[in-house]
Every structure is written in structure tokens, then in C-alpha cells.
Chain A
């Protein structure tokens, strides 16, 4: 498989499909091409998984010079960390496009084009091994997202998109500055001017520089994650985004933040990461509890789930900045699970909205009478979101907590545990008010899920269950790579302790 540039194929296939879609007129044909493109991308990424050997660092690497004068390459590669994200990404995109078949009837061509472009952008972020390439994908992905919310969104979509784009752009511009600074600092000390991520990761940087660069990267990632208090773009964007937009936003976009922390912040700036640990842990715990508290009082279903994302992603940062193997693995699992579960929840809400044209919790009730299949699946994902053991949500939270206890930051672990009570409270209360009780008169004629919709949710449910029962299948992908990061970190900790 070495001779085939399989990663490039995974990456660019959706773009090819997108271009073909542009030349088609028939809705059926457009969907056929789009589905084929994303399905092939999914299959190939699974093939990459099959051919992947855990623990061997970056694999399936491709690189050739792009702008050699500046040390810029087109370089792709996967390790376990990015592989899991790519798998999640291609999986969700495929399902979203299938879902769109049933739900999107307005500007189909543009919609599919945008979605496929978005897929390319996000996959690129996870595959890029060159900072410039990474940054390009990181920014490119904003545009289709902007279009997706701005065109197919709700009433206040303009406000939401502008907020979303400005917010994230602000963060990423600082990151660009930091990337350039990194380039010059590394070049000045070693004489090699390169944007190669792996090479730059090998370098060591002064403490002052680390601090500033860490801060710039931190802002970009913290806004993406999003950490409290940078989270307010999220509820607005989610509420206004179309269903698939929300799925992608919650499912993958947020993971780019966590991925960034693991891939860049920790290896590049170990000392600064150590220095910032306490602050970030405090912010994480605040996110967990605060997000849950705010979610409790939301009246809009999508906002509730959006705030629950804030809470869940708090576990991710908590795990990452515990600097332990279990914490990092837990953060990865939490990201994976959150992508699946929250994505599925947004799909559920979308399906509900298509039927009732209402997302306000107070106006719903007793829907389980009319929608038994939906009720079962919605309950399943609500429980997974609560972190019910046996489903994927639990694995991540549990391992993050393990990490917190191992790292002797028990107080944060103990506080975070209380988040799981609150998460049960807001989810179950919401489920009760929406699905249980007596049915409202206006909802007497609702139809249950179609086969297609059931199949989509069932596919996600199966993976959620799988990841809950046998998480080792997924942990095994990346645990060797995270352990490398942890070892590097603890090594610097020891060395800096020796210096002191």
C-alpha cells in the first residue's frame, strides 16, 4: 500500500466528488456522486485503519516540496491520534450526506458542494504534517461552515455566522503569528527553516518564547474547543445552523481544538503547558459544572445540547492537561464519543424539528407516544451523553477522571464527578419534558422515523455501544502515540525539576 498515496485519496476524493456535483443537474445524480465520494473516503479511511500499525508513529506519509524556498511542504501522515479523528470525520460526513438526502431540498447542489468541501478541509487539518498546510486547511474549513450556517441556517443566522467566523478567525490569526514565530525561532537556532511539524516538534524553545507561543495557540484551540469563557459563539452557531451543520460543528469541529492541544501545545511547549496547567484545569472544571448548570435552564433543545457540549468538552481539556496517559487517552475517547453522541443528538433534534417545527422544550411533550423508534434512539443517545457505563460517553469521562486521580489533581477530579450528576439532571429532565407525559394536540399526526433515518441513527448507536463495551478497539489505535507525548512531557518535568 506504500505506493498508493492513500491519504491524499482520502483527502481529495470529496473534492473530486464536489466538482462533479457542480456539473450535474439531477438531484438523484448529485446525491449519488456525493454519497459515493464520502463513502469511498470512509471506506478508504477504514482501510487505512486496517493497514495501520499502532505505535509506529506517523504512517502512510506522503510529502513533496510545495514552496521549497520557504521550507513549505505538502506533507500528509497519520498516527493514532489523527487516525481516530479522520475515521470519526469520514463516518459523520457520510451519514450527514445520507441524512441530507431526506432532509435537504433547497439548493441541493450548493449544499453538497459545501459539505464535501468542508470534509476536505477538516480531513486536511488532521492529516497535515506541515504547519502551512495545516493552517490552510484550518482556515479553509471556515468558509464552507460559514456558508452552511449562513445560507441554510435559521432566523438569526447572519449574527451567528459572523460571530462564529470572527471568533474563530481571531484565534487562528494569533496562531498564525505563533507558527511564523516558531518558524523563525527554530530557523535561527538550527539554521533549518522549515514548517515541518514533526521537525519543529523536535526542537526545544526558551521558556519565555514558549509562554507567548503557547498563549497564541491556546487561544485558537480554546476558542475551538470551546473552553469557558470563549464558548458563547457555540450556542448561537448551533441554534442557527442547519442540522447537518450542527452535527459537523459538534461532531468534529470542536475536536480540532482538542486535537490541537494534543498535537501541538503539549509537544511544542511542554514547559508552558506545565506552567498553564492549573489555570486550564480550573477553566475545565468550570466548563464542566458551569456548562451543565447553564444547560439545565435552557428552553431551546439545541441550546441545551450546545451547552452540554461545553460541559463535555471540559472533560477533554481536563484529561489533556492532567498530563497522564489515562487522562490523554480519556480525552481522546471523550472526543470520539462526544462526536458520535452529540452529533447523533443534533440529528435527533433535527428530525424532531422537521416534524414539529418547534425546538422549544415547553411546546413539546409526550412525543414517545407517536414516535416510539425515535424515542428509543433519542433515549439511547441521551443516556450515552449522560455517561452511562457501557456506552462510549462513560469511557472517556472515566479515564479522564482516572488521569486526574493519577496526576494527584484529585480535587479537580472530585469536582468534575459532580458534573455527571448535573448532566443526568439536565438530560433526563429534558427527555422527560419532551418525550414523556401526555401528547399535545398539535402533535397527534406526527410520523415516526423513516427507515433511512432509523438506519443512520442506528449506525451511530452501534458504534457508540461498541466503543462502550470494547473501548480497547479504539484506545488501541492511539494509546501508543499518546504515551509518547506523555513521556516527553514528564521527561521535561523531571529535567526542569532537576534544574531547580
Chain B
């Protein structure tokens, strides 16, 4: 069964190839069908494979071809199928398929329809390969490939300067992370002499014993890569801007799948991370800080997609926090549930944008629930799941990772407080968004409000399906610590257990925690209700409570401006200096030499009268001198 694993990436790839070659001239609208078929095929094969592998989650591999052999460096392209991969595959292919279906409706009137359905399967292919990679290099290759797709799709509406700018920003920020990843990869090659997962994992304890500290360095470098891809502070700046892309893209790439690649990577390298407590602490702290940091910004954003983007950054921060305390299963669990409800929220916001004729500013919305009931209902489900209301998906996973954090020791208390605060703010901004969008009196012009409509079925059906997922996906983790996903991933994260990072909570603890997190979520919703429903329209008045704080948050702590001025501006200034140096100094020296030679030549040129007899005379004179010299010497 595992031998057909190559079909999973191959089918979307074939769809990409067909659409890319024929889409513009021949297929046009039919590209949507082909892309959907390809991704559906991948989904079906993934499910079949999952079912077939359900009872034994031993890693299996499928060799494809030799990539390169150079001296003692040898690398094959190998597909890996194990528990973690299969979980990721299921999430990726199912969400992808929903987004593909949805996009047929959403992109219907776009002149770049075929282009969209060329890029999207390419992304799915790359993402599938990313999770199926069996060695670091292939992981890196597709790590970059998904970044490329992200670049292409963010800049999809390339006539907009802001879209192109956002695309370049995303690519470059990711590149900064990738430099860390690449250095980590090279260090692994240098230290381990191999890039294969299993070999690295089995050698890790030996290496740690032989060269203490090197693993910390490697883990931190890899984590820099993860920070770039998963938009962790301080490399998070690209993700909100990435909302310039079409909304299905935001749902698929910038919420459900690609941005979780960092989480996947750290989880995949758990045998390395558990050996370095420093790296783990860094991961946890960065994650927790990002979670809170992004949530505060999310409170003040008015663009519906930007709120979701900061929410994504925040949720990814929670996942990293869980990874950092060794709760790998909880992190992956949250990754999976998050994919469903965040995908749902994004698609819902896309539906809103679609129905309101490209309106993204929540200040000009309100009261939309009556106009678009399906979207509104599913959106509320997604919001509840995100806030962590029992028994929706987000509750189980968030509850579990908060619990694991609390149990992880001294640092755990701090992390827990940060995480809980982030959860509280999450509930606040989520319901701020819901209230501002769907409830209260509308703030739209009457003329426009009358044109608001529910989206077509091709878009609402995916919403419903994802809403079902957002409700039900959490049950794979029930009962806590002993659910389906825990058993399934148990072997993958065995290293954490060996390292003593897994603490089994008592039942009382679990129940108490459940109560606490429910209270937190409800509290958040209440606060949002109090501010944004009862005193609607509220944003301005809220801002008036603490103007400096509000300004700070609205401007995202001025981090973007700082980067723009210092990093981009600095690089440009330096580039200008270098260019000047090259033109005037380096080339100047060359030209100076040329000038000197020319000057000397000009002097000598005057000797060239051009008259033959002068030349003949010089010859004669020269001969006379040579002979004179000869005669002198002969004496």
C-alpha cells in the first residue's frame, strides 16, 4: 500500500502541469476541475494510506531517485510515510480540497482564474512533499517551494503595488529564516555526516555526548527557519501583509498549512530538541511571547483578514509554546484543529468579502448575519472554536497544550500565564470581529447593503464541511492524553517521554483546567460583548480610552516601520555606497591606469612623425649603436 504513496504528490503535480501548459490558451475555466480532481485524488490516496497504516505507524519509505552523489555526500529522493506525515497529509489534503472547491466560486470572475488554479495545485504538491520528505534537504527544497507558491499567490493580483510589495516582503522575510535553516542543515551535515531523519535521530545522543552544545546551536538555527515560515516574532511581519493575496490563499497557505510547516519541522526534529533544554526554552518563550504579542495587535485591527492573520500568528505561537515544553502531540493536535477552524474563518471572511463587493474593513460592516446566514452561522462556529468553547475543536487542543505548559516546571507558570492571557485576548478579538461584522446596526451605505448577498453553494458547502470539522476534529483528542491522536503519534514523540518531558496529569487537574479555560473564553466573549455590542459602534470610543496604547497597537508596535527604515533602508543605502565605490573607486583605478598608459603613449606618439625616412634613420642609428656596443665588447 505504501508503494502508491508517490501518487499523493504526483496527482496535484500533474494537475499543475496540465493547467500550466494548457490553462491559458485552452482549458481556461476548466482548470478548476482539473485542479480539484488532482487534489481530491491526493486526498483519497491519503485517506486510504491512513487507513491502511492505522494499526502500524512504523515509518516506511519509498525511494524515487538519486539526487546527487559527491564524495561522501549522497542523497536520494525518498518519500516517508509515518504517523506524523499521515496526520499532516490528512490535514493538508482535506483543507486543500475544501479550499479548491471554494475557490471555484470565489475566483469565478477573475481573469487570472487559470493562473490561480495552476499555482494552487503546485502549492499542494510542494506542501505534500514537505511533509513526506525523508531527509532535511528535501524538506528544505520544498520548504522553499511552498515559499515560492506563497510568493506567487500573495502577488497574484500583481497590478496592485501593495500585493507585489507584500509578496516580495514575504519571500525575503522567509529567506532570512531560511538562512538559519540552511546553516542548521549544513551544520547537521558537518556534524552528523548525513541528512536522513532516522540516521540523524539515532546519532543525536552520540553527538550530544561528543560535542555538547552543538545540538543547541543546530536546533536554534533550524528554529530560525521555523520562525520565518511560521511567522514568529520578530519574523512575523510578512504574514499580515500576505493578506493581499486572494482569500482562499490566505485560508490555505497562510492559516492552515504552510505556516504550520515550522511547527511540523520542530515536531519532526523532536529527538534533537529534547536533547537541548536551551533550545526548548527559546522555542517556548518565543512562542508564548508571540502568542500574546500578536493577540494584542489583533485587538485593534480593522481589516477582517488582518485580524485573522494576527490570530494565526498568535495561535502558531501557542503551538510553539507547546513544542517548547515537550508537548509535541498537543502542538500537532492544535495544528490540526487550527487548520480546520482557521481555514473556516478565513473562507468565511472571504465569503463576507465576496458578498459585500470587496469590503474588508469591519468599520464599514455590521448586521450582515441576516443577509448571509450560512456564512454567519459557520463563522460563529469557527469563532467559538478559536476562542476555545467546549466542546468545539479548539477547546480540546488548546486546553491540552495549556495543561502541558502548566505542568512543565518553573518556567511553565510564566508560560501558562502568557498563554492564558493570549487565550483571553483571542476570545476578545474574535468576538469583536464577529460582533462588528455580523451584528449590530449596519454601517454600510444603504445602497451597498442592499446588494449584500449570500455566497453561491460552491462556496458555502466547503464552509459547512469545515464547520463540521471545527466541531468534530477535537474528538480525536478525547479523552485528553488518551485520544486517537495521542495513541497514533505516541511512537513518533517517544523521545520526549524518554527525556522526561511528558507529565501525565491527574483527572482532577484536567477537569479543573477545563473549567478554567472555559471561564477564560467566556470572559473574553463577555468583554467583547460589553464593549462592541452594547456600545456599538465602538472602535473609536475604545481607542479613546488609552490613545497612546491604541496607537502603538494599531501601528503593530512600529515594528514594520522599524524594519523598513533600518533593514531595508540600511541595505539600500549600503548598496548605494557599494555601487558608488565600484563605479568610482574600483573602476576608477582601472580607468586611471588606462589614462596613465594613454598619457605616456601620447607622449611617445609625438615621436611617430609618420615619415618613413625618420623611421629608417632610427633603424640606422640603432644598428650603429648595436654594432658600436658589439665592437666595444669584442675588445
Contacts and interface: CB of A to CB of B under 8 A. Distances in A.
Contact of A417 (B159, B167, B182, B586): B182
Given A324-B71, A424-B175, A432-B165, A389 B140 contact: yes
B590 A389 contact: no
A108 interface: no
Interface in A418-472: 418, 420-422, 424-425, 428-429, 432, 435-439, 470-472
B587 A232 contact: yes
Interface string A394-406: 1100110110111
A470 B66 CA distance: 7
Given A389-B145, A421-B172, 8 more contacts: A326-B70, A329-B71, A383-B148, A388-B148, A405-B187, A424-B175, A438-B161, A479-B70
A229 B586 contact: yes
Contact of B141 (A383, A390, A414, A429): A390
B155 A436 contact: yes
A201 interface: no
B141 A163 contact: no
Contacts of B190: 405-406, 410
A297 B573 CA distance: 9
B429 interface: no
Nearest to B174: A424
Interface stretch (A10-18, A68-76, A364-372): A364-372
A346 interface: no
List of 4 A-B pairs having minimum Cβ-Cβ separation, nearest first: A325-B71, A389-B141, A296-B575, A232-B587
B10 interface: no
Interface of B: 24, 65-73, 137, 140-145, 148, 151, 155, 158-161, 164-165, 167-168, 171-172, 175-176, 178-179, 182-183, 186-187, 189-190, 571-572, 574-576, 578-579, 582, 586-587, 590, 594
A111 interface: no
Contact of A366 (B66, B159, B586): B159
A438 B69 CA distance: 46
Contact of A418 (B151, B179, B186, B587): B179
Contact of A293 (B161, B574, B594): B574
B70 A298 contact: no
A476 B586 CA distance: 40
B340 to A, nearest CB: 30
B69 A294 contact: no
B176 A421 contact: yes
Contacts of B182: 398, 401, 417, 420
Contact of A399 (B68, B171, B572): B68
A476 B69 contact: yes
Contacts of B168: 428-429, 432
Interface centre among A389, A402, A421, A486 (most CB of B within 10 A): A389
A368 B171 CA distance: 19
A293 B578 contact: yes
16 contacts: A290-B582, A293-B574, A294-B579, A297-B575, A297-B576, A325-B73, A326-B71, A329-B71, A389-B141, A390-B141, A390-B144, A395-B68, A432-B168, A438-B159, A475-B69, A479-B71
A124 interface: no
A166 B168 CA distance: 41
B159 A389 contact: no
Given A421-B176, A436-B158, A290 B578 contact: yes
Nearest to B193: A406
A368 B571 CA distance: 27
A471 B68 contact: yes
A351 interface: no
B158 A368 contact: yes
Nearest to A482: B70
Interface in A235-265: none
B17 to A, nearest CB: 11
A232 B582 contact: yes
A366 B69 CA distance: 42
Contact of B67 (A368, A420, A470): A470
Contact of A297 (B68, B172, B572): B572
Contact of A329 (B70, B176, B183): B70
A274 interface: no
Contacts of B171: 424, 428
Interface of A is mostly: helix
Contacts of B148: 383, 388
Contacts of B68: 329, 395, 399, 471-472, 475
Contacts of B179: 417-418, 420-421
Interface string A93-109: 00000000000000000
Contact of B172 (A294, A390, A417, A425): A425
A204 interface: no
Contacts of B576: 297
Interface centre among B66, B70, B175, B578 (most CB of A within 10 A): B70
Given A294-B579, A297-B576, A402 B186 contact: yes
A479 B140 CA distance: 24
Interface in A286-318: 290, 293-294, 296-298
A339 interface: no
B578 A401 contact: no
B70 A388 contact: no
A262 B616 CA distance: 49
A159 to B, nearest CB: 9
A421 B175 CA distance: 6
A394 B159 contact: no
Given A389-B141, A401-B182, A405-B190, A297 B579 contact: yes
Contacts of B164: 432, 436-437
A483 interface: yes
A278 to B, nearest CB: 19
Nearest to A401: B186
A297 B583 CA distance: 12
A413 interface: yes
B245 to A, nearest CB: 14
Contacts of B175: 420-421, 424
B578 A437 contact: no
Contacts of A401: 182, 186
Nearest to B180: A417
Contacts of A439: 159
B356 to A, nearest CB: 25
Interface string A317-333: 00000001110011000
A483 B71 contact: yes
Interface centre among A231, A324, A405 (most CB of B within 10 A): A405
A369 B160 CA distance: 12
A97 to B, nearest CB: 27
A486 B72 CA distance: 13
Nearest to A366: B159
Contact of A472 (B67, B137, B574, B582): B67
A428 B165 CA distance: 10
A405 B158 CA distance: 39
Nearest to A332: B70
A326 to B, nearest CB: 5
B575 A405 contact: no
Contacts of B72: 325
Contacts of A399: 68, 70, 73
Contacts of A329: 68, 70-71
A294 B186 contact: no
Nearest to A166: B594
Contacts of A406: 189-190
Given A297-B575, A325-B70, A417-B182, A394 B172 contact: no
B578 A294 contact: yes
Contacts of B590: 163, 167, 232-233
B145 A390 contact: yes
B147 to A, nearest CB: 9
A296 B572 contact: yes
B151 to A, nearest CB: 8
Contacts of A395: 68
Contacts of A167: 590
Contacts of B587: 232
